[in-house]
Chain A
Amino acid sequence: MNQIGIYAKCFRSSLDDFISTGEYRALPIVVCTVNDKRPEGRYIKSPFIIFSSGMKRNHVENIFKIHGESTQLLSDYGKSYQILTQIVNKNMDKVIADLISSIIVEKIKGFQSNNKDEDNYFFISDLGSNKLIGRLGYLYLNQERNTISFVIYKGNNLITNILSKEFNSLEFDINYFKLVQDMKNNQSEIIPENPMESMTQAVYFQISGSQRNNIILRMDLFSQGITKNNIRKKVDDINAIVAKTSNLSEPFQDSSTSEMVRLPKVLFSSMKAMDNYYSTIAKDLLAGKKT
């Protein structure tokens, strides 16, 4: 069995860099950890230069989807920085999806050439973006040996689309509480019930946390073209993985929500390695220096 953790992040020029260089740069980095191996980063060596002073008018208009006089809005650095950040947030999913899907395919091919009978479990941090799910969808991967799951641990994202449509927030809290209470073998029912309704199926797992509380993780399993029974089998397999503490990281406090979190170890390793990539590579590239 192979466990692969994938963590992606997009770094952007700081406002100071933007003002001093006149360029807004963005650099997506994807870090991948396979089993106990050292995490490896995948990034584009020349960052995206989204904006640079003196760039051609039609480029400015293409990026900002504006014409003519609206370009004057951009004479204000602060305002430009804000707009550019929004544009990057909106569009970087596509690039990250390309990077992640090529890593997944490359890894599966690598595992296959080594040993055909092994099962591969991919743990990708956060919600699968529509772009990534679409790209994986067009690949029609053989799911018999490969399980791709998106690991969600941040409070706001724990609620699924289906549940958020059905309940208001108070009702959801009650249902969520019930859901956790009713968990059998530390896993919830599969949401949505009919696999045709979504390309991913969500399941909540209860994993051992600190002494006082257990931790809830949501995992969205990529489930293109597979039957309910096969999904059930994949859920059981993942449950078995997260039941072993050796497959998990130590509990840690998430900086944004202050909640205690525990992740698959491979994913946690990728996450930790990302800090290192930022300080050794991204920082310089964003400031316009060559590494």
Chain B
Amino acid sequence: MCKYTQYGKIMENNNNYQKYVIYSSSVVKTSAGEVSVNNYDKSIDKVCQHLRCEHNKNKIPLIITGSGISMVGGEKQKSVPSIHEMMNKLLNLIDDICNDTKSDILTNMIKEYKDASNPENSMGRDNTDRVTEAQAKLLTYIQNAYLSNKKIFCAESDCDCLKKVWEDYIKWLICGGDPYPGLRKIKATDTHKAIAKLYKAMDAVSITTNFDNLLKDAFNDTDIFFPLLDTDDFNRYFLNGAELNADSQDTQMIEIQSRGDVFWTKCSGDKNRACQNKNHRCYIPQRNVKHPDDLLKCDRCGSTTEIYFAFPGTKEKDHEMSTVMGGVWKFLAFRISAVIVVGSSMDYDPVLLKFLQELLNRRSIPLIYISRYHELPDHTEEVKQKQATKIFFSKTTPDNWYWARCKRIDEVLTDISTKYNYLSSNPASKIDNWDKVRDKFIETAASIMGNKSDTEILNIIRLQLNNEISEVIYSIINQKPLTNVKFYSQLGLETYWLRKTDENNVTNHNRYKHSINVMIIASAVYLSARKNLSTREELLFVQTAALLHDIGHLPFSHLIEEIFMEFGWIPDGESTPFDHEYYTRIKIDNLFSPSTNSSNSYAELFNILKLSGYNKEDITNLINGEYGVGYLDAIINGPIDCDKIEYIFSDGCFVGMNHESLFKEFLTEYCSELGTNDNCFLKISGKSYKNALKLIGLRSQMYHDVYLRPGLRYLESCCKLIIRIFIAYKCTKIDFSGVNNENHNINLSNTKISFILRWIEEIEDMNSSKKIDSKTSPFELPLIDEMCKYLEMEWNGIISLDLCNAIAFCKNMIECKRTNASSFPISDIEQKYIHQIKIGASNLKEDALNKLIKTVYLRFPGIILIDYVKVKKPFSFSKSGKKQRRMDGTNESIESILVSQDNAKNWNCFGDATDSIINQLNLPRDSYLNLYKITKDHYRYMLAEDFVIDQLRQYNIIEGV
């Protein structure tokens, strides 16, 4: 037997494009050229080190298996037949049984299939698609004849004989015929056994396209191994995973059968109409069947059954396969550390292929593709380009995708598990007395809440959490990208407008303080969820992500992002407009890169990564809520994450809604009944669930009373007007001639974005050197001042007079002067300058409204602005938690939280529970359209308002004359 240390070889072509891990010293013929490179060992090492490292982070490998694993090892005659062998058998049966009665349709279909599969007709080209299509057409016809499916035409003369063909065929498949022994007698191959070893070594999960269930045979009787066949199975398995603690050893292993629908019987109930199997799918092969005829009978009541066997290529099968893949996305996909494809060409599995493409496009995880090569009579080996290899191993193959070709695929798998077991695993450092540490974090979070300066909160942390927070966290706290968010008010200019008095705590309500408190709350929630499984490394990872989650924010909260979005500015290499998530990724990348982080702090940051075992991509993924380990995503970016807990309470305290006193009680109770299950989901039950609902209710209230208050939206629109004109003019100063355009984008968005961000950084630097006084006003106000000054100084006389007046008007409004200490100017604005129109949820036509907003903005310069406020959902999901269309036909959102239903034993996905939670909270359902007057010219405003109302009627957004 070969050892991976002795015989490995990698084949690369001259252009260093294709990588073939070759498991013998034989030469492989490729169209691209032949170069042998002996780095098989290195490749296996890299893969195993990656798998080991990711396993420490709760990530698991996914193995995709195809019919190849049932056909290697052992004696050939004891293998599961290939699709070609199965087709040949079927054609022989048709010849025997229907020879004289075949309709022209059936004859033509058979001819079509034979022509397509005859290599002489392919003229040397790949005709897999043609074969698959002809095959699917023929099989669907036979299947429908058997099931008497009236929806699809089947010639009457074919029906009876094809029924007999189908029954005989199924009997042959399961019970065999010379020399084929039948599925009942086939045993697990060496490859199955090698896969079973991988399962045990690294908690692997597999998706299979095989219907033979042979992998189960490779496990011991004591192992718990079972297939997941459909959505119900997924829910049962993932929702009800056991509660984890340090003592439990979970050994349940699953195989996802992507063709779970492929092979089943349905009892007709003619012998027992109350049979439990009646009209239910029962999976075969039934290995304990004694006589082939029993296959066609229900094993409970003996009634006749219908046997369904969906072949590759049919639309029906692909659709059902998408449903299964939907379950994979929902519960598993982002937790995958690497994909190992074994014995699957994917020629007949387009859905699986697209799933894999989508997954690999989203995540830069390794792909290990293992396939056999065929020895030709001249003792050279033939490389057949299959679908998967054509797609994945081309000129653009990433460095961490490997194609292993070998004579025995089980040996590559054995090498992986051997090497994997050989690599040492650094034991994670457990946190002793997690509950006492958790209580300290809760205490500190409560102490920080309220009006305290940055220095005060840092002193509190030093005092109360001296032993609980490592020094590396302090070094992140002092990093420039984080300290810079001190300038940004937590609520943008709302912080200034909502201050209780003029001398109030404006500068204390900033994103820096918010980030630090999110870190402390996240620590408490993490410890509560993981209890005695908590580790120092994972806690450090959570804390790092929590601290950095807002560093991509720009001043004015989301306003600038909205303007970038209106302008359609898409950064290089991205497919969506600029947003803070993108900028966070860039900033984290710079922070942790020695080449761009010019400060001396890189060594410290590098230390953080080294200590935690995580990398910067992990941090970014976690901040985006798509790291893949459910409880971590739920803590950092989920519907009830620590960011929301912090801002709802701290904003509430700031605007005087008196949540400060409730906070400690809330956090203590919320943390009391949290947990995680063996599939790494955050479980929320009892008091924790009640408090989660309380938080959702408070959030809705904050949206209604604060964030979406018409007066504040008005002021924000005034800000946007100024910022928008400023950006438009500022960008005309860019010297486009020197722009480097090698990034393949056909626009100048990146140049414009960088130009504006650079300007903001300059103002930040001015601010930090105290050239701008921001003691009593947030940084955003001087920024608006700077913008207005720039427009006045540089562009006076060039901007239209109406707009200049509107800018002055808006600036005056933004400054929001109080007439006396108790006055609240926003109420005045709401009375004098806003016309609010209620819109029923069904009449809200967003496309029409967005078009109208733009039309009004461009056609009535400086007179009117419009804005609409949608019913705010009580909680928001990260991008991964939202439904999105994928290439494989799925659109499931990705889950991270489970909530208890009636009692703690029944669980539901948080996403699926959305409707019932909304009903429970009885939240408002109307949307509003706000018309804002930004001129003193009442006559022109009325003309504009008439135009808007007329348009709203035309779009049927409002009714009546």
Query: Does A116 count as interface, using CB distance less than 8 angstroms?
Result: yes
Q: Say whether B859 contacts A224, CB under 8 Å.
A: yes
CB < 8 Å: which of B354, B748, B803 contacts A68? B354
**For A108, what are the chain B residues with a Cβ–Cβ distance below 8 Å?**
798
B394 contacts across to A, CB distance below 8 A: 71
Chain A residue nearest in CB terms to B943: A196
Of B358, B739, B947, most A-chain CB atoms within 10 Å:
B739
List B residues 791-837 near A (Cβ within 8 Å): 795, 797-803
Q: Mark B358-402, 1 if CB is under 8 A from A, else 0.
A: 100100000000000000000000000001001100111010000
Query: Are A49 and B744 CB-contacts (below 8 A) given A62-B573, A141-B798, A142-B797?
Result: yes
Known: A46-B741, A142-B797. A94 touches B747 (CB 8 A): yes
Q: How large is the interface on A (under 10, 10 to 19, 20 to 34, 35 or more residues)?
A: 35 or more
CA of A54 to CA of B724 in the docked complex: distance in angstroms? 39
**Among A97-105, A160-168, A178-186, A263-271, which stretch is in contact with chain B?**
A97-105
Q: Are A224 and B858 interface neighbours, CB within 8 A?
A: yes
Q: Does residue A137 face the partner (Cβ distance < 8 Å to B)? A: yes
Beta-carbon contacts under 8 Å, A91-120 to B:
91-92, 94-95, 98-99, 101-102, 105-106, 108-109, 112, 116
| CB-CB nearest in chain A for B752 | A98
Contact in complex: A46, B739 (CB < 8 Å) = yes
A102–B740 alpha-carbon span in the complex (Å): 18
Smallest beta-carbon distance A209→chain B, Å: 36
**Option from A26, A59, A71 in Cβ contact (under 8 Å) with B746:** A26
- Is B237 located at the chain interface by the 8 A CB criterion? no
| B725 in contact (CB, < 8 A) | yes
Cβ distance B727 to chain A, nearest Cβ, rounded Å: 8
Complex CA gap A99/B735 in Å reads 9
B752 partner residues in chain A, CB cutoff 8 A: 98
**B739 touching A199, Cβ below 8 Å:** no
Asked whether, in the complex, the Cβ of A58 is within 8 Å of the Cβ of B573, the reply is: yes
**Within the assembled complex, what's the spacing in Å between the Cα atoms of A69 and B386?**
12
Residues of A within 8 A of B602 (CB): none
B559 nearest CB across to chain A (Å):
16
Question: Is A58 touching B361 in the complex (CB atoms < 8 A)?
Answer: yes
Contact B361 A94 (CB under 8 A): no
Please name all residues of chain B whose beta carbon is closer than 8 Å to the beta carbon of A134 when the two chains form the complex: 858
Which partner residue on chain B sits nearest A69 by CB separation? B391
User: 1/0 contact trace for A15-55 toward B, CB 8 Å?
Assistant: 00000000000100000000000000011111111111111
Known: A91-B746, A106-B732, A140-B803. A225 touches B887 (CB 8 A): no
Separation in Å of the A4 CB from the closest CB of chain B?
15
A24 to B404, CA, bound (A): 35
A225 pairs with B861, CB closer than 8 A: yes
Chain B CB within 8 A of A283 CB: no
- B158 vs chain A, min Cβ distance (A): 35
Task: Determine the main DSSP class of A at the interface with B.
Answer: helix
The chain B residue sitting closest to A54, CB to CB, is B395
Of residues 131 through 147 on chain A, the ones whose CB sits less than 8 Å from some CB of chain B are 134-135, 137-144
Confirm or deny: A88 has a beta carbon within 8 angstroms of a beta carbon on chain B.
yes
Q: Is A56 interfacial (CB 8 A cutoff)?
A: yes
Interface residue tally on B, bucketed by range: 35 or more
B800 touches A44 (CB 8 A): no
Bound complex: CA A69 to CA B387 (Å) = 9
A284 contact set on B, CB distance < 8 A: none
A291 within 8 A of B: no
- Residue of A26, A55, A94 near B748 (CB, 8 A) is A94
A67 at the interface (CB under 8 A from B): yes
Q: Are A109 and B798 in touch, CB under 8 angstroms?
A: yes
Query: How many Å lie between the Cα of A192 and that of B250 in the bound state?
Result: 74
Q: Are A99 and B736 in contact (CB under 8 A)?
A: yes
Beta-carbon contact of B746 and A199 below 8 Å: no
Contacts of A109 in B (CB 8 A): 795, 798
- Residues 856-867 of B, flagged 1 when their CB comes within 8 A of A and 0 if not, give 001111100000
Flag if A68 contacts B801 (CB, 8 Å): no
| A200 → B minimal CB distance (Å) | 12
Knowing A26-B746, A48-B741 are in contact, say whether A139-B396 is a contact too (CB < 8 A): no
Nearest CB of chain B from residue A49's CB, rounded to whole Å:
5
B728 touches A142 (CB 8 A): no
Whether a CB of chain B sits under 8 angstroms from the CB of A259 is: no
**B residues near A47, Cβ cutoff 8 Å:** 741
Asked whether A254 is an interface residue with its Cβ less than 8 Å from the other chain, the reply is no
Contact: B799 with A45, CB < 8 Å? no
CB neighbours (8 Å) of B797 from chain A are 112, 116, 142
Say whether B742 contacts A139, CB under 8 Å: no
- By a CB distance below 8 angstroms, the chain B residues around A71 are 394, 396
Name which residue of chain A comes closest to B807, CB basis: A140
Chain A residue, CB-CB nearest to B725? A140
Residues on A with beta carbons closer than 8 Å to the beta carbon of B734: 102
A67 to B358, CA, bound (A): 8
**What CA separation (Å) do A11 and B790 show in the bound complex?**
36
Q: Residue-by-residue, is B102-136 near A (CB-CB < 8 Å gives 1, otherwise 0)?
A: 00000000000000000000000000000000000
Can you list 22 pairs linking A and B with CB atoms under 8 Å apart?
A48-B741, A49-B741, A57-B361, A62-B573, A67-B357, A68-B887, A69-B390, A95-B746, A98-B731, A98-B736, A98-B748, A102-B734, A109-B795, A138-B725, A138-B858, A139-B728, A140-B800, A140-B802, A196-B859, A196-B947, A199-B858, A224-B858
**In the complex, given contacts A45-B738, A94-B748, what are 9 additional A-B residue pairs having Cβ atoms less than 8 angstroms apart?**
A44-B741, A60-B396, A69-B353, A98-B748, A109-B795, A112-B797, A135-B728, A140-B861, A141-B800
Q: Please give me the 9 A-B residue pairs with the lowest Cβ-Cβ distance, nearest first.
A: A57-B396, A91-B746, A68-B357, A105-B732, A137-B858, A140-B803, A138-B728, A48-B741, A102-B732
Residues of B participating in the A interface, judged by any CB pair closer than 8 Å: 353-354, 357-358, 361, 387, 390-391, 394-396, 398, 567, 573-575, 724-725, 728-729, 731-734, 736-748, 752, 795, 797-803, 858-862, 887, 947
Chain A contact residues, CB within 8 Å of chain B: 26, 42-63, 67-69, 71-72, 87-88, 91-92, 94-95, 98-99, 101-102, 105-106, 108-109, 112, 116, 134-135, 137-144, 196, 199, 224-225
